[in-house]
Amino acid sequence: MNAPLHIVLSWADWADLFAHYLMLSLMSVGGAISTTAEMHRYLVEQHHWLTQAQFKESIALAQAAPGPNVLFVALMGWNVGLNAGSMGAAFLGVAVTMIGILIPSTVLTYVAAQWGHRNRELRAVRAFKQGMAPRAEILGDTGANHPDRWIGGLASPDLHAIAILFARDEQERQRVAREHAAYLARTPGVDVLSALDLDAIPPFNYARDHFGYRDRLTQPEIAERTGAPLGTVKSRVRLGLLALRRALSGEAGVTGEPLGDGPS
């Protein structure tokens, strides 16, 4: 990693870090990775306890390593401690961030599960369970999402490791691919089951996450640029997706006509 910062943290700073991660735990509905924007604001922009490079590398290493991706939280705490000047502080950083991010959500999940079990005969609880059961086919590894249907042999018992190679440009990607191939050639008994090449979407200097939008425009940004109400933008996007679904499924009545005036 890049050269670390040199910072001084008081016990009040450690307590503040712990309290912040307690708060982030209750916000991490989509997993801890969903709170990275707030972590970046707090650790990099506000307090300058991590460099931009350290923040990005913590996430990249955790995503590439086996195990839960919440490990990036531990790496951030580790780097904060290293920047504070000692290995002891690094271990303290791991403990502060990981305990902070895990305790509230774990307790909340446990309490909710216990309450649901005690009140399992309530009409609302039974209705919730019955409503969620069909969604298991979509959200869980069942039905069409069963591992047996995964592309590339990723559910094969012969799969023992996944390597993720990052590069800043095409030339760098070719170089790391050659080095990886040479490494495999020197490692008897290791074969590649599948490979997937991905390119980032330009512009590469775009500062914000695009959340899968090809043009990196989220619905609030579209509303701001067009002057249309956010609700109108959401409605038109949904209508467009429904029309696309009907067209792809071959349903009758899809004419390809515009959905109306206004932003599309």
pLDDT of residue 241: 81
Q: Check whether residue 105 and residue 195 sit in a common domain.
A: no
Do residues 190 and 114 share a domain?
Answer: no
Summarize the confidence of residues 201-210 as an average pLDDT.
Answer: 51
Q: Does 225 lie in the same domain as 180?
A: no
Residue 130 resides in a domain: no
**Is 99 among the domain residues?**
yes
CA distance 105 to 107: 6
Q: Are residues 84 and 172 in the same domain?
A: no
The reported pLDDT for the residue numbered 193 is: 80
- Shared domain check, 215 and 185: no
Exposed (0-12), middle (13-18) or buried (19+): which is 65, by Cβ within 10 Å? middle
189 and 237 co-located in one domain: no
Say if residue 110 is in the same domain as residue 188: no
**What is the spatial distance between Cα 191 and Cα 222, in angstroms, rounded to a whole number?**
46
Is the residue at 172 inside a domain? yes
Whole-prediction pTM: 0.53
With respect to residue 136, please indicate whether it lies within any of the assigned structural domains.
no
Q: Are 137 and 145 in contact (CB under 8 A)?
A: yes
Highest-confidence segment of 88-97, 178-187, 225-234? 88-97
238 lies in the same domain as 175: no
Tens of pLDDT, residues 185-198:
888 888 888 777 77
Same domain, 103 and 16: yes
Place of tokens 């599948």: 194
Same domain? For 15 and 111 the reply is yes
Among candidate residues 153, 180, 151, the one with its CA nearest the CA of residue 166: 180
Q: Is residue 189 part of a domain?
A: yes
Query: With 0-12 CB in 10 A as exposed, 13-18 as middle and 19+ as buried, what is 81?
Result: buried
Higher pLDDT, 21 or 28: 21
* Alpha-helical segments (H) within 2-145: 11-27, 36-40, 52-64, 71-83, 87-118, 123-132, 136-139
Q: Is residue 123 part of a domain?
A: no
Q: Which domain holds residue 96?
A: 11-118
- Over range 166-195, report the average pLDDT: 85
- 106-153 pLDDT, tens digit per residue, is 999 999 999 999 998 999 888 888 887 777 666 666 777 777 777 766
Is the four-CA dihedral 210, 216, 221, 222 of positive or negative sign? negative
> How far is residue 15 CA from its own chain's centroid?
26
Helix, strand or coil for residue 186? coil
- Number of structural domains (the chain) is 3
Same structural domain, 19 and 93: yes
Quote the pLDDT of residue 98.
95
Mark which of 118, 142, 163 sits at the end of a domain: 118
145 in a domain, yes or no?
no
Q: Is 125 exposed, middle or buried (0-12, 13-18, 19+ CB in 10 A)?
A: middle
Decide if 233 is inside a domain.
yes
- If we measure between CA atoms, which residue out of 85, 92, 79, 82 comes closest to residue 14? 92
Residue 217 confidence class, pLDDT cut points 50, 70, 90: low
Other beta carbons within 10 Å of 199: 9
Do residues 89 and 24 share a domain? Answer: yes
Residues 32-44 pLDDT 10s? 888 888 999 999 9
CB 154 within 8 A of CB 194: yes
Phi, psi torsion values for 234, nearest 5 degrees:
-60, -40
The upper half-sphere exposure of residue 168, i.e. CA atoms within 13 Å in the direction of its Cβ, equals 1
| Mean pLDDT for the stretch of residues 174-186 | 89
